[in-house]
Chains A and B, each alone.
Chain A
Amino acid sequence: MTHHTPSGHHPSLSQLGFWRKYIFATDHKIIGLQYGITALFFLLFGFCLMLLMRWQLAYPGEPIPFIGKFLGEGRAPGGIMLPEFYNELGAMHGTIMVFLGIVPLVFGAFGNYIVPLQIGAPDMAFPKLNMISYWLFFVGGVVMLVSFFLPGGAASSGWTSYSPLANIASLGQTFWIIGMFFLINSSLLGAINFIATVIQLRAPGMTFMRLPFFVWSQLVTAFLLLLAFPPLEAAAVMQLLDRVAHTSFFLPSGLVVSGEPLQVSGGGSVLLWQHLFWFLGHPEVYVLILPAMGIIAEIIANNIRKPLWGYRSMVYSVVFIGFMSFIVWAHHMYLTGMGTTISAFFQATTMIISIPSVIILTCLFLSLWGGSIRFNVPMLFTLAFLPMFGIGGLTGLPLGLSAPDIYLHDTYYVIAHFHYIVAPGTIFAIFAGIYHWFPKVTGRHLNNLLGHIHFWPSFFMMNCIFIPMFAQGLAGVSRRLYDGGEQYTFAQGVLPLHKMISMCAWILALAQLPFIINLLWSMFNGRKVSSDNPWEATTLEWATPTPPGHGNFVKVPTVHRGPYEYSVPGAAKDFTPQNEE
């Protein structure tokens, strides 16, 4: 392993103290790892909230074994979960998974670590802003966690915080808003940094059509964050004022709460909140999935040993998705009675945006054709991603049309649909990415056997959890009930599935243990990499020392070709790195 010694007046990493090096770090790789570790913690925490909810759904009204008595009388008297606590868990599961788990992982962690390496840059364009982004994210996460210990508990109005319910909710909602301010501003700074980095810091020869697809996906994601988050910030300002300054932005006239008329000026609009929320909310969906597609594309190209099929159409598709995602938001609002004309418009845009998604997925599938596939652990997760994302995407089509959506919208069908995209979709891509890039980050491989023990149960359990939910949803079981629909006769036929789903969710939790053990064990004891490019990949991150030092490259790389030159006819080896003459 060679280590790069930076020249000039910049202090080298070894000269910096512990605090500047690891805590208030400005190096994009350290910040990427900070994001990764923090977000993995939140991902686990958000998952645990759901495991608690699953008990209540499977065995409503029965005391939670073991942990029930530690939850406190205010949350679960005698170990039996209160409806209010169930609502807190639901709202915070969504908030934590989306804003503190997945986005920081795919964008903050993978984006930060990999993007500068793949474009041949020494760091992000604004290293100090990068540090501020991370710490804003961290504070936002702490505010969200602290809110569980407030009187009245954490936010409980759903991750969407619909007004007027959120306006009259307990103090936890105010904390949710304040936490969101931190997270939004963190994302905004991060987005500015990513775009500036990709546009300004590409190495000589790295033209836009030579960028790896992962970089393209991150670039589009950054634009989505940059332009979609500010409206949510505006909405959060208004909701905060509604709560603390008693304005009526989202409170219509004549509102009655607990039998008492609400003493406010009125004249507000509840739909205004939903429009502003979903104006963020829909691009956010693509923030969750596009970087995952980027990771998948990198791993596929590397493990099929041939170029991606249709790189250009994938790039055009991802850019088109970026534009379209700003004009589909109201398909989350068919139930609100916006009117058929508006519904028809959003129906049409929603059908249109599914086309580029299908193009990308089709290109990835067709890439497999005729490849000599290496079935290593990252590739297993990748191959699982493709059909799982396909199921998630195709089951979304009925939800994009207002007539079936009115029936399906409030049922478990929706839960199953978007979890297929985010859980066996994005989270599998995250796992794939961790197994793929771990050797570059640490210089060691993750253990293969533990990887298989992680993959196979996770893959089966994910499907056992979410396929039954489609059945429950089609039977009409509401996704918002704290007892899982026990009081409804029409739901009785599919209710036993709750027990099976919960059981599978707990087994899924157990299946994550080998992964956690693998991460900790392999960091120090894993098999050492044989070279700087153990996967024999073509992209620039593998042209750095392992692990990359401060400043990344020993000398500025020059790019001579596209990102996926595998098995070039007549070449000496089956991969031709981008920086090779």
Chain B
Amino acid sequence: MELMPYIVKERPDTGLFNAKLGIWLFLSSEVMLFGALFSAYVLLRTGAPHWPHGSSILNVPIGAFNTVVLIASSVTMVFSWAALKENKFGKFKLNLGLTILLAFVFLIVKAIEYGAKFEHHLYPKTSTFLAIYFTLTALHALHVIGGIVVNGYFWGPGARMWQAEPERFVNRIEIAGIYWHFVDLVWIFLFPTLYLL
């Protein structure tokens, strides 16, 4: 018997290949992880006698710029997957490369933002607002780094699979894309919660 079914083709009755179900399950646990931190934010804020307005401490234009950067990277991620579906490998490389580049832009901007906070002696220990801000954004940044590693692998050495098992490679890019959109989506919740409210 074939050792592992439904790696490439979908199982007819569930309509899923294994890894696609796997990534959605993983993301459901991620929702609970970030959800718990958002709940902590709500509980700390409602319990606080005074809570600063996000924009009085954080730089809204920079945050907004980063939001645009991440959304753009999600668009290029979809383009790279669509390019594979059209059998255009060069276009795939270009778009996935852009995705990785934009992710780096996001991280660099975030690092500049962190640096500016530290210069003004604003640390996680300074206040509960800053504590939850640094925790949520740093955990999100870790996810961005994870995305760079995965996408970097598929852009570089992992792309060899395109020659041997093209269908499986398309699946992999789809899954990396689902993950990347999730990372984007978390930021879309983080930005208004932390910067605007």
The answer to whether the Cβ of A74 comes within 8 Å of any Cβ in the partner chain is: no
Chain B nearest CB, measured from A55 CB (Å): 40
A247 within 8 A of B: yes
Which residues of B have CB within 8 Å of A264? 125
Check if B128 is an interface residue, CB within 8 A of chain A. yes
B26: chain A residues within 8 A (beta carbon): 188, 192
B139 and A248 form a contact (CB under 8 A): no
B21 neighbours in A (Cβ, 8 Å):
125, 195-196, 199-200
Check if B48 sits within 8 Å of A267, measured CB to CB: yes
Contact of B36 among A126, A235, A247 (CB under 8 A): A235
Contact assessment for B18 and A196 in the assembled complex, using a CB-CB cutoff below 8 Å: yes
B131 — nearest CB in chain A belongs to which residue?
A: A247
Report if B94 contacts A (CB, 8 A): no
Residues B36 and A248 in contact, CB atoms below 8 Å apart: no
Q: How far is the CA of A536 from the CA of B28 in the complex (A)?
A: 40
Beta-carbon contact of B128 and A196 below 8 Å:
no
By a CB distance below 8 angstroms, the chain A residues around B124 are 241, 245-247
Residues B128 and A8 in contact, CB atoms below 8 Å apart? no
CB-defined contacts of A10 to chain B, threshold 8 Å: 3
A454 to B189, CA, bound (A): 57
Contact B40 A272 (CB under 8 A): yes
Please state if A200 and B6 are interface contacts (CB–CB under 8 Å): yes
B59 at interface by CB-CB < 8 Å: no
Q: For chain A, residues 524 to 581, give those with C-beta under 8 angstroms from any C-beta of chain B.
A: 551, 553, 555-556
Q: Across the interface, do A123 and B3 meet the contact criterion of CB distance under 8 Å? A: yes
| Bitwise interface map of B from 117 to 147 toward A, beta carbon under 8 Å scored 1, else 0 | 0000001111110011001000100000000
Cβ of B48 and Cβ of A265 under 8 Å apart? no
Any chain B CB within 8 A of the CB of A255?
no
Question: Is A234 touching B1 in the complex (CB atoms < 8 A)?
Answer: no
Rounded to whole Å, the gap between the CB of A533 and the closest CB of chain B is 20
A443 at interface by CB-CB < 8 Å: no
Q: Are A200 and B25 touching (Cβ within 8 A)?
A: no
A237–chain B nearest beta-carbon distance, Å: 7
User: Do the beta carbons of A8 and B36 come within 8 Å of each other?
Assistant: no
Which positions 229-269 of chain A face chain B at CB distance < 8 Å?
229-231, 233-235, 237-238, 241, 245-249, 264-265, 267-269
B residues in contact with A35, CB < 8 Å? none
Shortest A83–chain B CB gap in Å is: 31
B interface majority secondary structure: helix
Is the C-beta of B35 less than 8 angstroms from some C-beta in chain A?
Answer: yes
Asked if A201 is an interface residue, CB under 8 A from chain B, the answer is: yes
Q: Of B5, B29, B40, which is within 8 A of A227 by CB? A: B29
Known contacts A230-B29, A272-B40; decide if A196 and B22 are in contact (CB<8 Å). yes
**B44 beta carbon closer than 8 Å to chain A:** yes
Among A200, A230, A247, A555, which residue has the most Cβ atoms of chain B within 10 A? A200
Complex Cα–Cα for A127 and B18 (A)? 12
A191 at the interface (CB under 8 A from B): yes
Q: Within A259-315, which residues are at the interface with B (CB < 8 Å)?
A: 264-265, 267-269, 271-272, 275-276, 279
Q: How large is the interface on B (under 10, 10 to 19, 20 to 34, 35 or more residues)?
A: 35 or more
- Residue A226 interfacial (CB < 8 Å): yes
Do residues B36 and A279 form an inter-chain contact, with CB atoms below 8 A?
A: yes
> B43 within 8 Å of A by Cβ?
yes
Q: Which residue of B lies closest to A253 (CB)?
A: B49
A6 contacts the other chain (CB 8 A): yes
Assembled-state Cα–Cα distance A275/B39 (Å) = 10
Within 8 A of A (CB), among B2-41: 2-6, 11, 14, 16, 18-19, 21-22, 25-26, 28-30, 32-37, 39-40
Question: Quick check: A276 and B22 within 8 Å, CB to CB?
Answer: no
A412–B67 Cα distance when bound, in Å, is 54
- In contact, A246 and B125 (Cβ under 8 angstroms): yes
Q: Is the CB of B128 within 8 A of A248?
A: yes
* Nearest CB of chain A from residue B179's CB, rounded to whole Å: 13
A199 CA to B5 CA, complexed, in Å: 12
Question: Min CB distance, A380 to chain B, in Å?
Answer: 38
Given contacts A248-B125, A267-B48, A553 and B1 within 8 Å (CB-CB) = yes
Asked if A122 meets B4 with Cβ closer than 8 Å, knowing A200-B21, A248-B128, A265-B128, the reply is yes
Of the candidates B22, B29, B139, the one whose C-beta lies within 8 Å of that of A237 is B139
A residues within 8 A CB of B125?
A: 245-248, 264-265
Asked if B43 contacts A269 (CB within 8 A), the reply is: yes
> What separation, in Å, do the CA atoms of A233 and B35 have in the docked complex?
11
Give B34-74 interface residues, CB cut-off 8 Å to A: 34-37, 39-40, 43-44, 47-48
When the two chains form their complex, are residues B18 and A200 in contact, meaning their CB atoms are under 8 A apart? yes
Closest chain A CB from B163 CB (angstroms): 16
Q: A122-B4, A269-B43 are in contact. Are A234 and B131 (CB under 8 A)?
A: no
Which residues on B sit within 8 Å (CB–CB) of A188? 26, 29
Contacts of A200 in B (CB 8 A): 5-6, 11, 14, 16, 18, 21
Closest partner residue, chain B, to A4 (CB atom):
B1
Report chain A residues within 8 Å CB of B28: 226-227
Find chain B residues with CB under 8 A from A247 CB: 124-125, 128, 131, 135
Binding site for B on A (CB under 8 A): 6-8, 10, 122-123, 125-127, 129, 188, 191-193, 195-196, 199-201, 226-231, 233-235, 237-238, 241, 245-249, 264-265, 267-269, 271-272, 275-276, 279, 551, 553, 555-556
Q: Which B residues lie at the A interface, using CB under 8 A?
A: 1-6, 11, 14, 16, 18-19, 21-22, 25-26, 28-30, 32-37, 39-40, 43-44, 47-48, 123-128, 131-132, 135, 139
9 contacts between A and B (CB under 8 A): A6-B3, A8-B2, A123-B4, A125-B18, A200-B14, A234-B33, A238-B37, A267-B44, A551-B3
Known: A125-B18, A226-B25, A248-B125. 16 other contacts (CB 8 A): A193-B22, A199-B16, A200-B16, A200-B21, A230-B35, A231-B32, A237-B135, A238-B40, A241-B124, A241-B135, A246-B124, A265-B128, A265-B131, A268-B44, A268-B128, A555-B1
Shortest 9 CB-CB distances between A and B: which pairs?
A231-B36, A234-B36, A230-B33, A230-B32, A247-B131, A246-B125, A267-B128, A192-B25, A125-B18
